[in-house]
Amino acid sequence: MYGKVLERVTEREKQLTADPVEQQVRDIFKQRAEAAGAKLEDLQASHDNDKAALARKLEDLKAGGAPEAEILAAQKALDDFPKTLDAYRAKLTADKAAATAKSAPPKPHATPSPARMSTRATWRGATSWRWCSV
């Protein structure tokens, strides 16, 4: 029974990995990672540009009579914007790492963990992880 279920899960994973919509989403995250990398190249200019863009958005919302919730959200984004270049660098680095991780295709469900494989094989003295039972 488990073998049949695993086969269906594996087939569904292949379908999802090859799905054009899923590939588009991974491409979006890849673009976000590249954008964060580009901002890291010229940190001072990107910090100033991003902060100015947030301030402009806030002023546009106030001038346009936007709902109070949107104005408060824009004000919060401006208040929460990193004050120092080190904090901005850390934020961009974290954003880039997260986007890069999400841009990769998912690891198949049935792929064993390399660390766990070697531990089991060494522990049991087996030559293959398949012969190890825990």
> What confidence tens digit (pLDDT) does each residue in 44-89 have?
999 999 999 999 999 999 999 899 999 999 999 999 999 999 999 9
CB 103 within 8 A of CB 26: yes
Is position 70 within any domain? yes
Is position 119 within any domain? no
Residue 33 binned pLDDT confidence (cut-offs 50, 70, 90): very high
Q: Residue 18 belongs to what domain range?
A: 11-103
Model's pTM, two decimal places? 0.70
In the predicted structure, residue 130 carries a pLDDT above the cut 80? no
Length of the chain: 134
Domain count, the chain: 1
Is position 29 within any domain? yes
Is position 2 within any domain? no
Is position 64 within any domain? yes
- HSE, side-chain direction, 13 A CA sphere, residue 62: 9
Is position 59 within any domain? yes
Is position 96 within any domain? yes
Residue 125 to residues 105, 115, 131, Cα–Cα distance (Å): 33, 15, 10
Classify each residue of 79-89 as buried b or exposed e, where b means 16 or more C-beta atoms within 10 Å of its C-beta.
eebeeeeeebe
